[in-house]
Amino acid sequence: MITQRPIKVGLMGFGKAGKAAASVLLHAKEICLEWVVRRDSLPQHHAIQEFLGLESKDPGRLYSSQHLTAEELVRMHPVDVIIDFSSAEGIDYYADVAKEHCIKVVSAISHYSDREIAILDDIAEHTAVLWSPNITVGVNYMILAAKVLQNIAPNIDIEIIEEHFKRKPELSGTAARIAESLGKEVDDVKSIRAGGIVGKHEVIFGFPYQVVRLTHESISREAFGNGAIFASKHLIDKPPGRYAMDELMLPYFNVGMGSAENFCSCTTCQTPQPSTVWTQ
């Protein structure tokens, strides 16, 4: 699953999320951050680690999309994966080069238009592409757990709440993804805007005599970097196609569930025997 040498990564975007992701990528042994592309032009060729005040042996340099094409950049500094924390329009910069050189793409963009989704699907015909509005491992684990619980109790009441910083205008892309995965209407998601909340998502299951709450909260944007590393490592050997973060995580849900012979075979139960559930 993981190549012997570090995975060479190019990073799109150097805003708050991009900088936080870069700081994590620079310290990851299995990743080599080759470059970062941003829209403004200054400074050119500046070392990312110096800009962030960090120590790293990665060759990462800052480049401007205004002064260098993606083709020129990839010829100078080839990469295995492009991680995108820029904007929805950022895909226009690297789409052709990703297709031509079969570079994997990990996109953490919150919202894409239909045009941009079509571009993403076009890239996916040539190489592996992952798009996750929230690329943290924790929130995608929560989505999978919510889907499992909904399968157990399909008619239960479900409410979705998302909380973000005061100036975030639109609905969280993560909340929309959660709603979609559970077959809920996006308009039913409850939104809270207050202070500097990085991001909190909660799924509430209202049973008749109990309540289950699945909650994920991003304490720091560095969590996005950890998720990008997970995605890159698990996408690197995938064939062309479009993948979701929870797809890459799904195999881990088989841990400890026992073999098929440990399951009750009667038509009434069709459930794991108590002795085999949740064992490690």
What is the amino acid identity at position 32? C
Predicted local distance difference test score (pLDDT) of residue 274:
35
Say whether both 190 and 105 belong to one domain.
no
CATH number of the domain where residue 191 is located: 3.30.360.10
DSSP, collapsed to helix, strand or coil, labels residue 254 as helix
**Do 145 and 123 have their domain in common?**
no
Q: Where are the alpha helices (DSSP H) in 102-236?
A: 114-124, 137-152, 173-181, 222-235
116/43: higher pLDDT = 116
Task: Say if residue 23 is in the same domain as residue 155.
Answer: no
pLDDT (average), residues 246-255: 82
For residue 221, name the pLDDT band (cuts at 50, 70, 90): confident
The mean predicted confidence, pLDDT, of the chain is 87
- Which residues, at least 6 apart from 267, have a Cβ–Cβ distance to it below 8 Å? none
Same domain, 144 and 37: no
pLDDT at site 60: 83
- Place 118 in a pLDDT band, splitting at 50, 70 and 90: very high
3-state secondary structure at position 175 = helix
pLDDT at 182: 96
Average pLDDT on 118-136 reads 95
* Inside any domain, residue 12: yes
- Same domain for 121 and 144? no
User: Does some domain include residue 256?
Assistant: no
For residues 160 and 179, the answer to whether their CB atoms sit within 8 Å is: yes
Q: Is residue 41 part of a domain?
A: yes
**What is the enclosing helix (H) or strand (E) of 4?**
none
Mean pLDDT in residue range 148-170: 94
Flag whether pLDDT at 107 surpasses 70. yes
Is 255 a member of any domain?
Answer: no
Q: Report, as an integer, the average pLDDT of 180-194.
A: 95
Residue among 65, 52, 2, 57 nearest 33 (CA):
57
Residue-range definition of the domain harbouring residue 102: 7-135+222-243
Per-residue confidence (pLDDT) for residue 275, from 0 to 100:
31
Burial of 207 (0-12, 13-18, 19+ CB in 10 A): exposed
Asked if the model's pLDDT at residue 125 lies above 50, the reply is yes
pLDDT at 251: 86
Q: Confidence band (pLDDT; 50, 70, 90) for 256?
A: low
pLDDT digits (tens, 9 = 90+) for 4-31: 789 999 999 999 899 999 999 999 999 9
- Asked whether residue 95 is domain-assigned, the answer is yes
27 plus 76 within the same structural domain: yes
Counting residues of the chain whose pLDDT is more than 70, the rounded percentage is 88
Is residue 278 a part of any domain in this protein? no
Residue 142 has pLDDT above 90, yes or no: yes
Task: Say whether both 123 and 228 belong to one domain.
Answer: yes
In terms of domains, do 105 and 239 share one?
yes
- Count structural domains, the chain: 2
**Residue 251 lies inside a defined structural domain of this protein:** no
pLDDT at position 255, please? Answer: 53
Secondary structure (DSSP) of 125-146? TTSEEEE-SS--HHHHHHHHHH
In this structure, is residue 105 part of a structural domain? yes
CATH of the domain at 33: 3.40.50.720
Bridge partners of 211, per DSSP, are: 206
- Where b means 16+ CB within 10 Å and e means fewer, 73-105 reads bbeeeebbbbbbbbbbebbebbbebbbebebbb
Q: Is the pLDDT of residue 211 over 90?
A: yes
87 has a pLDDT exceeding 80: yes
pLDDT of residue 258: 45
The reply to whether 66 and 79 lie within a common domain is yes
Q: Which of the four pLDDT bands, split at 50, 70 and 90, describes residue 222?
A: very high
Could you tell me if 204 and 238 lie in one domain?
A: no
Same domain, 148 and 82: no
179 closest CA partner among 259, 6, 171, 151: 171
How sure is the predictor about 148, in pLDDT bands with cuts at 50, 70 and 90?
Answer: very high
Residues 130 and 37 in one domain: yes
